[in-house]
Amino acid sequence: MSAVSVHQLSQCITCHAWSPDHSMIALCPNNNEVHIYKMSEDKWERAHVLQKHDQIVSGIDWGSTSNKIVTVSHDRNSYVWSLEGSEWVPTLVILRLNRAALCTQWSPQENKFAVGSGAKTVCICYYEQENNWWVSKLIRKRHNSSVTSVSWHPNNILLATTSTDGKCRVFSTFIKGVDKRDSKASSSSEAKFGEQIVQLDLSYSWAFGVKWSPSGNTLAYVGHNSMIYFVDDVGPSPLAQNVALRNLPLRDVLFISEKVVIGVGYDCNPMVFAADESGIWSFVRFLVETKTVSSAPTYGSQFSEAFGKFYGQSKYGASNDGMDNSRQGGVHHNCINCILPLKEPGVASVRRFSTSGLDGKVVIWHLGNQEDLLR
């Protein structure tokens, strides 16, 4: 078991983000507010409530160098919050969307942030010093459906997006005046704003949770058809691998290192994937080992009733009484929809990460005693 601490902070958590020193957490408890909790003397106390949005806050990100929080909501707005004294002061960012905003992320240098929306567009927002406000530029082309997840490449220019049309796309978000052309970089940095670099058409169902590896060489994203896709050498000729999962789909992934990925989703149990020396990715194990009996199916009580009706037998209800603990033995009780790293400064690979889910729990995991993953 690698779970370090389990915190029941709400009834249901939509998304969360950590402060730069990991002492405070900002989360949305499935309503239009953002609650910031501070850890003091082993107890979490609610330090701030940010109330500006009218509908559910679907994405939060906390810049680790700028200490600014960006929140996006289904009310089609976004706010950038700065800490002035002891109060969080919001600045409205006009995104020019006509549908909900679904996800957001600060760029690595935190001079831009990306917002994915249900309007089939991605907004890239940057700060204009002269007018003292945030400007948004839209990438309107290419997407055929809602953009579910966005992720920045370490070079601060490339952005990967996943959409409910099943495709993962990489765009250039070069903005004159904000980004600098790198003369020795590859040709992808010569692309204009909004130009699509590559489109990955691997999934026939909704795609979620795209992330870049720490070097930016590999991309991972999940499909709602219980598959996870790994793409190496993203560019004109990418190498893609599909890994089929045994169980329910994932919602989000995290790169622990170049070769190890953690996936979280509807199984309520983080799954570890690793690449071997030849670069072939495969499923390694669940992070929480639950006792399974090999003969009987290992589903929780909610499935055993359904299967019992399906197969017209009563044995499922009876034999699974002992199996009811397989869900309770796990840490999360409901879908995990957000996983974030807790990076220590100066350490390259991620040793601690946090997950939050629809059960209202935030769980901090520590990989300290799993040496095989920390290569």
Interacting residues with other proteins (CB under 8 A): 200-202, 204-206, 223-227, 231, 238, 240, 242, 244-249, 297, 299, 307, 310-311
Residue-wise burial string across 93-110, b where 16 or more C-beta atoms lie within 10 A, e elsewhere: bebebeebbbbbbbbbeb
One-letter-per-residue 3-state SS of 318-374: HHCCHHHHHHHCCCCCCCEEEEEEECCCCCCCCCEEEEEECCCEEEEEECCCCHHHC
- Least distance in angstroms from the C-beta of 296 to other proteins: 9
- Least distance in angstroms from the C-beta of 166 to other proteins: 9
Nearest to other proteins of 249, 357 (CB atom): 249
Nearest to other proteins of 201, 372 (CB atom): 201
How many whole angstroms separate alpha carbon 137 and alpha carbon 98?
A: 14
- Least distance in angstroms from the C-beta of 171 to other proteins: 18
Nearest to other proteins of 32, 205 (CB atom): 205
- Least distance in angstroms from the C-beta of 200 to other proteins: 6
Nearest to other proteins of 20, 297 (CB atom): 297
- Least distance in angstroms from the C-beta of 244 to other proteins: 6
- Least distance in angstroms from the C-beta of 225 to other proteins: 4
- Least distance in angstroms from the C-beta of 306 to other proteins: 11
- Least distance in angstroms from the C-beta of 334 to other proteins: 16
Nearest to other proteins of 236, 345 (CB atom): 236
- Least distance in angstroms from the C-beta of 131 to other proteins: 43
Nearest to other proteins of 175, 248 (CB atom): 248
Nearest to other proteins of 118, 223 (CB atom): 223
Nearest to other proteins of 138, 250 (CB atom): 250
Nearest to other proteins of 72, 200 (CB atom): 200
